[in-house]
Chain A
């Protein structure tokens, strides 16, 4: 069938060429639609439910909001787990769904449940789902700033409130309409508010309460539509506007009347424009600023959308007030373009090298170009495939494509066609006719197509284990395997259709039968070596076995990393301060830090988010900050040769100069993704579940002590759940009873007095601002002031019946002043309380985390489990769960333990099927470990740790090694079937196949050279892979050419009478 396909392709060669062109065009079109990002998105399918509960402390948030919401989410289809966080004023429930769940389906489900639970939540809380975005969603950040000296229309300097208003009401509404932007998040500055600050004394004098003020504000601030009337055939709409529009209108609102005189707001309160009690702030280079973040909708192309955002911002600039500018501080386009550049350079340079090698060896530039054409063709097909399967293009998915390996099949076919053409020309003694050429090409192609297909199939099979990875590893590496498989598939397709057709069209004229200088020299060097190897075959075999074992041992001792980190070019510096750090204090420290860091010459700018933004995608307390350090382009560095890690070290050192914070250095995307995946980020996490926070804390301390004692434990930490200073106003019910007050009344007053309460909105066109009733600053600002908050008393009973004694006071109008200070009905204490309450799957939990160093995780966890079981005693209702990265490691390891042997067994079976002999199959198979030795050696030489990237390299390598061996053994077998004695057959086979083997090897390894040497964005992922492949192919080629013939002679006799059935079983049993 394949031969028929080749024949048809040859016959319809122009049509095939046209189709190929079409494929390229289609691929180019699809390239526009391909989502391109720098790194793979490893965020899980999750829906965040953020509930703002102004003023609620963590305990109240958990009890009143988190719990009902979380409970409502139980039992959703495809639910993986829920986790939640209750903080001051904010509840966040994260519902994680199984991988592969449609996000919109998931949100639909969550939305339904939110509707059900809304009634159970306290009035005034807002429940909202987080934006439909992922860890890669923050694609564009900008600050809103005023030029120096710029004045507002009112003639004063721009305040942060003004800038925030510009952001909220001019920039944000326009940016939100940019296609692909799901949300624009704002942090920093102050929301404009109107504050009504009643004077309690004056309220008393008029015998009014806070409630009267609130009611009056609510009742005097609305527009009403009153339908329409008809008049003389015209329809008149009736409306009655009554909204307040400015401060003086608020002041004129009437609360009541006393003795015929109206009492207005202005009589009892001052009204000012004020600032909200904000939960977050932003800084840039040591100054406060307003920071906007555009978030990308899931599945959109980050580069395109970031560009659109930038373009829209330019448009918006025209509509900004004079002197206000936006300044882009983070633009994903930069990173994506750097990534694309890296990939493109690697591919172009690799392709150029491939062409050069082919030309050198084949001596035929046209043939070389035909092979090289397969590269763009399969790339175009791959891109089409990626668009179809929704695989995004990034360093991981594109980085692993080695065009050397991809074109292997084509190389083998072209080489054989050339050989056949040359042979035919020699036979005929002149140029061939078209039909003769076609015949030669058909024969040349068909002869090697089987081993070539076979080899590709084997490479594909070897990639299968990667596809079985799940979780984070799966999201990182599955796209990579898919892309490689698609590229391989495309290459196979083209090598049986396009390649013969193109050879037929382009390789005309005389095909040199003489090998060129390079090949002649190679053969001259090879022959004695081959003879030597065959003569000393036993020694060679032992030697090979020794090398394999030695490198196996070396590999097991190498350092390893599980998931590579991609260099994003920028640095994220998170500062973490103790719980309870106030926003103002955090701001001061952050400003000092930024001023210090920006002194580093490589740093371009440093901007920070402190606390929680308007949309709580990342609920941080004011004590926590996310800082972004943007580095200058390398060329502007004082020393462009400086490595990034040196710069990071400098940043680390500089940060240390500012006391009061702990720092964590990472990268923006990595950081964000980690936050979203959250869970436990260290190697081992011991989760203690239960109800009582104190008991949990105690248990955590026991666990910590137990783990600390185990060898290899480091960074043992307890999740910080306590330590937030809480001012508790504990009401004395007896005192309340004496005064005739209710708990609610006093609480209401405390709420209004300290936190303030919204009493409607003030509209300025579209813009709307809260009107907040609150006590003046000097009456709520500190502990003493809060103790002195006046609590009005209810009207007393008739004085005559009340007082038995005529007191000095009974006559005094002072009895009118009927209020008591808060401290006489309540105790006010500052005590540390819970900082945050974490829950998982509906239960409170506290986590003790630990990293493991210089020890293997498995045994550490086993020992830790025993230690914890022995030493930690938990009361009933409390239990311990284990989690952390080790879970992923263990699950990945377990999976690979099964899948890798199965894949190898499959390969072996394929070989066995193809060769019909277990011994032959085993021989070819021996190329795998031999190839791996070179990869290990190369890693050792370059001092690169073992990683999944390197592992993928080994996988690719195994395929190539098998392919090489296959080509040689198949040829030798054919020679032997023609009746040649074994030594002859081996020698001739090896010699004839020297050219294709050398070629595939050189092509595959040289194709990876640019990647191995690359230093640009993404190089850290590609370097191990390329290093392994290059090293491995060198060793594999040497070993295929020398050891394989030796082994063949050693193990195969002229009389073949072995029982091949043994081999597969043994091979399989060897994997364990």
Chain B
């Protein structure tokens, strides 16, 4: 009797043990998340070659779906510009200060600021204190009165110019060149000046480069002399200028949008045979707003990812991306 109930209890115990184990055993653990949450391992399609360059398999159809376009690497002409700030000045070589020879009283004044004067036009009459005779003050050059420091009856000193006459048919544009740009600016370089009056840019050339810099702003001066027949340019106004750097032909260039960085290397995605794309490290040269010169890493005729290249980078890196 005892033995039989012992056997019975043992059976029950064994069964319960098995039951308990089957319920609790983490042997075949939870994978709900993984059935519903099917995370992919997209890095399977990224492979590395012996140089450590990343490759990816991706078809043209997929690329097109994401708006990725390819282009052929080719030679290009790079025309870059540099921007400067500048100020319009009267041509200092055509500015004359008219100073009374003898101190005296201004008896009459003929011209006002802004008046155009011809050479030897009468500007004012002054009665000399020494001789008490009236002498005339005449314009030494043709130009415009830009300053008048004398009024009727005033005592005119020989210490102080009474008039400043400037010939505004030519105007100086003084540009301040930051020192990091100095090496790229040369005499006779072409410059586009924008007076910001909505009437377009004026073309000019650099005619003077100051040999000395300004200690305060750490800039150097470059000067463009512009014709000003219609008085459009007014001294004292600020302008901006763009310097067209000499156009340069380069053997291989890609579009700017093609350049990406991958693991701190500058790369271009290059289409290889079939459906592979390689992340090719390249060395960049000069650039302009549209193109970048490739000094090494890419040869002309190869197809590269030109637009939306980030999509390819994203596709390559997506295996590591995660959601939280």
Residues of A at the B interface (CB closer than 8 Å) are 85, 201-202, 204-205, 544-545, 548-549, 551-553, 555-565, 574, 576-579, 581-582, 585, 588-589, 592, 596, 620, 623-624, 652, 657-667, 670, 675, 678, 681-683, 715, 717-720, 723, 725, 738-739, 788, 790, 793, 796, 802-803, 805, 807-821, 823-824, 830-832, 851-853, 856-858, 885-886, 889-890, 893, 896-897, 900-901, 904, 918-919, 922-923, 925-926, 928-930, 932, 936, 945-946, 951, 954, 1047, 1050-1051, 1053, 1057-1059, 1062-1063, 1066-1067, 1069-1072
Given A813-B236, A1051-B4, A1057-B1, A928 contacting B216 (CB threshold 8 A):
no
The 7 closest A-B pairs by CB, nearest first: A1070-B13, A552-B18, A929-B15, A562-B30, A555-B22, A660-B314, A578-B317
Q: Return 29 A-B CB contacts under 8 Å, by A number.
A: A85-B324, A544-B11, A545-B15, A549-B15, A556-B18, A578-B314, A579-B321, A588-B66, A588-B67, A657-B62, A659-B312, A660-B314, A661-B315, A664-B323, A717-B322, A720-B322, A811-B92, A812-B87, A812-B221, A814-B87, A820-B217, A824-B178, A852-B29, A904-B16, A922-B9, A929-B15, A946-B28, A1051-B1, A1066-B6
| B22 near A1070: Cβ-Cβ < 8 Å | no
Given A552-B14, A662-B40, A738 contacting B218 (CB threshold 8 A):
yes
Candidates A551, A592, A824; contact of B179 at CB < 8 Å: A824
Interface centre among A205, A803, A819, A1070 (most CB of B within 10 A): A1070
Candidates B25, B31, B33, B317; contact of A556 at CB < 8 Å: B25
Which of chain B's residues 151-200 have a Cβ closer than 8 Å to chain A? 174, 176, 178-180
Candidates A667, A720, A815; contact of B214 at CB < 8 Å: A815
Candidates A559, A579, A807, A1067; contact of B13 at CB < 8 Å: A1067
A425 to B321, CA, bound (A): 80
Candidates B24, B314, B317; contact of A897 at CB < 8 Å: B24
Question: Does B246 reach chain A (CB closer than 8 Å)?
Answer: no
Which A residues are in CB contact (< 8 Å) with B238? 201-202, 204-205, 817
A275 to B92, CA, bound (A): 47
Indicate with 1 or 0, residue by residue over B98-128, a CB within 8 angstroms of chain A CB atoms: 0000000000000000000000000000000
- Would you give the shortest CB distance from B193 to chain A, in whole angstroms? 13
Which B residues are in CB contact (< 8 Å) with A896? 20, 23-24
Which A residues are in CB contact (< 8 Å) with B132? none
Which B residues are in CB contact (< 8 Å) with A1058? 1-2, 5
| A929 near B19: Cβ-Cβ < 8 Å | yes
Which B residues are in CB contact (< 8 Å) with A815? 214, 216-217
| A556 near B2: Cβ-Cβ < 8 Å | no
Candidates A551, A808, A823, A832; contact of B264 at CB < 8 Å: A832
Given A562-B32, A813-B236, A578 contacting B5 (CB threshold 8 A):
no
Closest to B29 in A: A857
| A926 near B320: Cβ-Cβ < 8 Å | no
| A851 near B34: Cβ-Cβ < 8 Å | yes
| A807 near B212: Cβ-Cβ < 8 Å | yes
Which B residues are in CB contact (< 8 Å) with A565? 32, 35-36
Which B residues are in CB contact (< 8 Å) with A720? 320-322
Indicate with 1 or 0, residue by residue over B207-230, a CB within 8 angstroms of chain A CB atoms: 000111111111101000000000
A661 to B65, CA, bound (A): 13
| Chain B interfacial residues counted at CB < 8 A | 90
Closest to A832 in B: B264
Question: Does B143 reach chain A (CB closer than 8 Å)?
Answer: no
Interface centre among B58, B310, B313 (most CB of A within 10 A): B310
| B4 near A928: Cβ-Cβ < 8 Å | no
A823 to B181, CA, bound (A): 11
- Would you give the shortest CB distance from A949 to chain B, in whole angstroms? 11
| A548 near B14: Cβ-Cβ < 8 Å | yes
- Would you give the shortest CB distance from A769 to chain B, in whole angstroms? 29
- Would you give the shortest CB distance from B101 to chain A, in whole angstroms? 25
Question: Does B26 reach chain A (CB closer than 8 Å)?
Answer: yes
Candidates B5, B34, B63; contact of A919 at CB < 8 Å: B5
Which B residues are in CB contact (< 8 Å) with A659? 58, 62-63, 65-66, 68, 311-312, 314-315
- Would you give the shortest CB distance from B277 to chain A, in whole angstroms? 10
| B30 near A561: Cβ-Cβ < 8 Å | yes
A201 to B240, CA, bound (A): 9
Which A residues are in CB contact (< 8 Å) with B5? 918-919, 922, 1051, 1058, 1062-1063
A929 to B19, CA, bound (A): 7
Question: Does B53 reach chain A (CB closer than 8 Å)?
Answer: no
| A578 near B318: Cβ-Cβ < 8 Å | yes
> Given A576-B322, A812-B221, 17 other A-B contacts at CB below 8 A?
A549-B18, A552-B22, A560-B29, A578-B320, A657-B65, A659-B311, A662-B39, A664-B323, A929-B11, A946-B23, A946-B28, A1051-B4, A1051-B8, A1062-B6, A1063-B5, A1069-B13, A1072-B17
Candidates B12, B24, B86, B218; contact of A922 at CB < 8 Å: B12
Question: Does B131 reach chain A (CB closer than 8 Å)?
Answer: no
Question: Does B297 reach chain A (CB closer than 8 Å)?
Answer: no
A554 to B179, CA, bound (A): 82
A402 to B202, CA, bound (A): 90
Interface centre among B28, B33, B324 (most CB of A within 10 A): B324
| B15 near A900: Cβ-Cβ < 8 Å | no
Which of chain B's residues 286-324 have a Cβ closer than 8 Å to chain A? 308, 310-315, 317-324
- Would you give the shortest CB distance from B95 to chain A, in whole angstroms? 11
A681 to B324, CA, bound (A): 9
- Would you give the shortest CB distance from B308 to chain A, in whole angstroms? 8
Which B residues are in CB contact (< 8 Å) with A561? 30-32, 35
Candidates B178, B210, B312; contact of A821 at CB < 8 Å: B178
- Would you give the shortest CB distance from B13 to chain A, in whole angstroms? 2
- Would you give the shortest CB distance from B143 to chain A, in whole angstroms? 19
Which A residues are in CB contact (< 8 Å) with B33? 681-682, 885
Closest to B13 in A: A1070
A790 to B42, CA, bound (A): 45
Given A896-B23, A926-B12, A814 contacting B174 (CB threshold 8 A):
yes
| B9 near A1063: Cβ-Cβ < 8 Å | yes
| A793 near B216: Cβ-Cβ < 8 Å | yes
- Would you give the shortest CB distance from A856 to chain B, in whole angstroms? 4
A930 to B15, CA, bound (A): 8
Which A residues are in CB contact (< 8 Å) with B213? 807, 809
Closest to A813 in B: B87
Which B residues are in CB contact (< 8 Å) with A675? 324
Which B residues are in CB contact (< 8 Å) with A893? 24-26
Given A555-B19, A577-B314, A670 contacting B36 (CB threshold 8 A):
yes
| B65 near A715: Cβ-Cβ < 8 Å | no
Given A819-B217, A926-B11, A1071 contacting B17 (CB threshold 8 A):
yes
Interface centre among B2, B5, B12, B66 (most CB of A within 10 A): B12
Which B residues are in CB contact (< 8 Å) with A1071? 13, 16-17, 20
Which A residues are in CB contact (< 8 Å) with B321? 576-579, 623, 661-662, 720
A561 to B29, CA, bound (A): 6
- Would you give the shortest CB distance from A284 to chain B, in whole angstroms? 19
A85 to B240, CA, bound (A): 46
| B30 near A553: Cβ-Cβ < 8 Å | no
Candidates B29, B174, B311, B318; contact of A889 at CB < 8 Å: B29
- Would you give the shortest CB distance from A923 to chain B, in whole angstroms? 7
| A928 near B15: Cβ-Cβ < 8 Å | yes
Candidates A809, A817, A823, A928; contact of B212 at CB < 8 Å: A809
Which B residues are in CB contact (< 8 Å) with A204? 85, 238
| A809 near B214: Cβ-Cβ < 8 Å | yes
Question: Does B38 reach chain A (CB closer than 8 Å)?
Answer: yes
| A922 near B8: Cβ-Cβ < 8 Å | yes
Which A residues are in CB contact (< 8 Å) with B14? 548-549, 552, 1070
Which A residues are in CB contact (< 8 Å) with B311? 585, 589, 659-660
| B83 near A820: Cβ-Cβ < 8 Å | no
Which A residues are in CB contact (< 8 Å) with B232? none
A718 to B43, CA, bound (A): 14
- Would you give the shortest CB distance from A210 to chain B, in whole angstroms? 17
- Would you give the shortest CB distance from A836 to chain B, in whole angstroms? 8
